[in-house]
């Protein structure tokens, strides 16, 4: 029981640290350069970079002690943020380059941290215990991010950047101390052959295995196509859109409120979707059409703050309606190869968010209406892709469609 509490606290505190780092650095870059596209370039590069390192991180986590990897990643993030704070003060004119370099380095640390604690908990807590743990942690983390985002927005508007980053560093130190209290014994011995060459060989083998698997599964191939299409906008909406609107309004607090409204909508949506999760295709279609309508309505409401907050909350609800489709797809993959296949799929579908961020960013620079129309069109396309696919059009849990 103590271990669960320690892990809850450590991960929630780490989430707070991540929120502080992400919001503060992005807002600072836009404020100093006066160009919101600089944050778009950085975000697009970061997401594409994460697609690459996600292949390696899973293999690395499998080969080393997971608790030690968690601790090392926390130490790494602490050092990275400290170095970034120093460089920001010394090289203000190079803030975009500095921000990009340190965000990419921190992406490596975050990816290792996330996969390490997830797999460590999967080993410690079995079956239903693990599912309950993850459910409670997911809700707790989202609530924390809601209030954390609001607080960070106020901090950005009222405190110096150095003060914010010192607070951020303190959260990671506290996270490390708490996580050190967790007892952990690997269920299997750590693999001895951890050479760089062996890791690259494993990556190549996994990529080859993924492509061989996809060739035999039309369903998975269709799923990848749909996700790569939707990810053209999934990277922009929660990350860049609030920043763009807040820059337009000139308030970091407004950015935090938009992100919080989105998160509140997702929590409400998750509560609603439980009752209808068996209607896989239907809920996904509702999510697509609802999201399209909400985004299109922003053409007439983007200057009215209360309507923007309401729109993002509604979008969060509709976005949660797509979750049964993702969960169903995971279940279609054989358990013994699920990790390898999902890791490969993640890497593929993360190749398009960066492209989408740049496309929408450029459209927004021309006219916000063009950007919103592009987002709306992608949601409509997502609806069409699943509706015209005979394997995906009428999926229910009681009438499973296998590949």
Q: Of 151, 186, 221, which marks where a domain is finished? A: 186
Same domain for 25 and 133?
yes
How many structural domains are present in the chain?
2
In eight-state DSSP terms, residue 191 is P
> Which has the higher per-residue pLDDT, 123 or 116?
116
Same domain for 149 and 279?
no
Q: Residue 395's closest CA among 296, 300, 322? A: 322
Same domain for 134 and 256?
no
pLDDT interval class at 289 (50, 70, 90): very high
396 forms bridges with which residues in the sheet? 399
Angle at 187 between CA 185 and CA 189, to 5 degrees: 90
Two tokens at 326?
């993702």
Backbone angles phi, psi at 190, to 5 degrees: -65, 135
Two tokens at 255?
């950015």
Whether residue 121 lies inside any domain: the answer is yes
Angle at 236 between CA 118 and CA 13, to 5 degrees: 35
> Which CATH number is 351's domain given?
1.20.1250.20
Same domain for 212 and 115?
no
Cβ-in-10-Å burial (0-12, 13-18, 19+) of 398 comes to exposed
Long-range contacts of 123-131 (CB under 8 A, 24+ apart): 123/66, 123/184, 123/186, 123/187, 124/3, 124/184, 125/4
**Domain residues for 354?**
204-403
Same domain for 181 and 208?
no
Same domain for 29 and 141?
yes
Strand, coil or helix: 82: helix
Two tokens at 299?
């053409």
Same domain for 53 and 95?
yes
Per-residue pLDDT, 231: 93
Same domain for 258 and 395?
yes
> Which has the higher per-residue pLDDT, 136 or 325?
325
Whether residue 195 lies inside any domain: the answer is no
Per-residue pLDDT, 401: 43
pLDDT interval class at 76 (50, 70, 90): very high
Is the pLDDT reported for residue 135 higher than 80?
Answer: no
pLDDT interval class at 130 (50, 70, 90): low
Is the pLDDT reported for residue 59 higher than 80?
Answer: no
Per-residue pLDDT, 127: 54
Same domain for 173 and 242?
no
Whether residue 68 lies inside any domain: the answer is yes
Helix (H) or strand (E) holding 230: helix 218-234
Same domain for 210 and 84?
no
* Share above pLDDT 70 across residues of the chain, in percent, rounded to a whole number: 88
Is the pLDDT reported for residue 399 higher than 60?
Answer: no
CA distances, 371 to each of 114, 201, 235, 260 (Å): 32, 42, 14, 22
Which stretch of 60-64, 262-266, 307-311, 369-373 has the lowest confidence by average pLDDT?
60-64
As a dihedral over the C-alpha atoms of residue 172, residue 176, residue 182, residue 187, rounded to 10 degrees, the angle is: 100
Is the pLDDT reported for residue 119 higher than 80?
Answer: no
Average pLDDT of span 127-147: 72
Mean of all residue pLDDT scores within the chain: 84
Same domain for 180 and 209?
no
> Side-chain half-sphere of 258: how many Cα atoms within 13 Å?
25
Tens digit of each residue's pLDDT (9 = 90 or more) over 354-398: 899 999 999 999 999 999 999 999 999 999 999 999 888 888 876
CA distance 371 to 369: 5
**45 Cβ contact partners less than 8 Å away, ≥ 6 residues apart:** 100, 104, 354
Whether residue 384 lies inside any domain: the answer is yes
Same domain for 136 and 233?
no
Helix (H) or strand (E) holding 217: none
Is the pLDDT reported for residue 254 higher than 70?
Answer: yes
Whether residue 7 lies inside any domain: the answer is yes
Is the pLDDT reported for residue 38 higher than 90?
Answer: no
pLDDT interval class at 403 (50, 70, 90): very low
Q: Of 152, 186, 220, which marks where a domain is finished? A: 186
Q: Of 186, 220, 245, which marks where a domain is finished? A: 186
Q: What b/e sequence results for 314-333 when a residue is b if at least 16 CB atoms lie within 10 Å of its CB, and e otherwise?
A: bbbbbbbbbbbbeebbeebb
> Which has the higher per-residue pLDDT, 2 or 226?
226
pLDDT interval class at 2 (50, 70, 90): confident
Whether residue 198 lies inside any domain: the answer is no
Sign of the C-alpha dihedral, residues 50, 55, 60, 61?
positive
Chain position carrying tokens 């909400």: 294
* Share above pLDDT 90 across residues of the chain, in percent, rounded to a whole number: 30
Q: Residue 253's closest CA among 160, 153, 152, 158? A: 153
Whether residue 249 lies inside any domain: the answer is yes
Whether residue 194 lies inside any domain: the answer is no
How does DSSP assign 315-330, residue by residue? HHHHHHTTHHHHHHHH
């Amino acid at each position: 029981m103590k271990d669960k509490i320690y892990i809850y606290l450590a991960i929630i505190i780490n989430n707070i640290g991540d929120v502080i780092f992400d919001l503060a650095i992005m807002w600072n870059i836009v404020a100093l350069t006066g160009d919101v596209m600089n944050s778009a370039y950085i975000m697009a590069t970061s997401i594409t970079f994460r697609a690459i390192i996600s292949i390696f991180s899973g293999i690395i986590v499998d080969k080393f002690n997971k608790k030690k990897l968690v601790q090392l990643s926390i130490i790494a993030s602490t050092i990275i943020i400290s170095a970034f704070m120093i460089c920001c003060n010394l090289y203000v004119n190079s803030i975009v380059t500095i921000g990009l370099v340190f965000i990419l380095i921190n992406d490596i640390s975050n990816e290792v941290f996330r996969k390490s604690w997830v797999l460590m908990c999967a080993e410690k807590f079995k079956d239903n215990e693990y599912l309950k743990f993850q459910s409670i942690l997911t809700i707790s983390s989202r609530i924390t991010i809601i209030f954390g985002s609001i607080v960070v927005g106020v901090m950005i508007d009222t405190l110096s950047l150095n003060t914010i980053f010192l607070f951020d560093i303190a959260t990671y130190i506290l996270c490390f101390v708490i996580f050190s209290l967790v007892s952990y014994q690997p269920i299997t011995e750590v693999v001895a052959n951890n050479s760089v060459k062996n890791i690259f060989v494993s990556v190549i083998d996994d990529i080859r295995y993924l492509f061989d698997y996809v060739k035999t599964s039309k369903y998975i191939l269709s799923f990848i196509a749909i996700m790569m299409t939707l990810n053209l906008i999934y990277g922009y909406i929660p990350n860049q859109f609030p920043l763009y609107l807040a820059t337009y309004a000139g308030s970091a607090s407004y950015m935090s409120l938009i992100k919080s409204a989105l998160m509140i909508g997702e929590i409400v949506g998750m509560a609603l979707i439980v009752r209808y999760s068996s209607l896989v295709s239907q809920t996904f279609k509702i999510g697509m059409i609802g999201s399209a309508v909400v985004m299109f309505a922003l053409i007439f409401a983007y200057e009215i703050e209360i309507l923007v907050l309401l729109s993002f909350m509604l979008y969060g609800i509709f976005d949660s309606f797509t979750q049964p489709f993702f969960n169903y797809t995971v279940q279609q993959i054989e358990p013994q190869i699920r990790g390898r296949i999902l890791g490969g799929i993640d890497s593929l579908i993360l190749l398009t968010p960066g492209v989408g961020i740049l496309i929408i960013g450029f459209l927004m620079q021309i006219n916000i209406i063009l950007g919103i129309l592009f987002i709306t069109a992608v949601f409509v396309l997502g609806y069409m892709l699943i509706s015209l696919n005979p394997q995906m059009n009428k999926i229910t849990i009681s009438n499973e469609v296998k590949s």
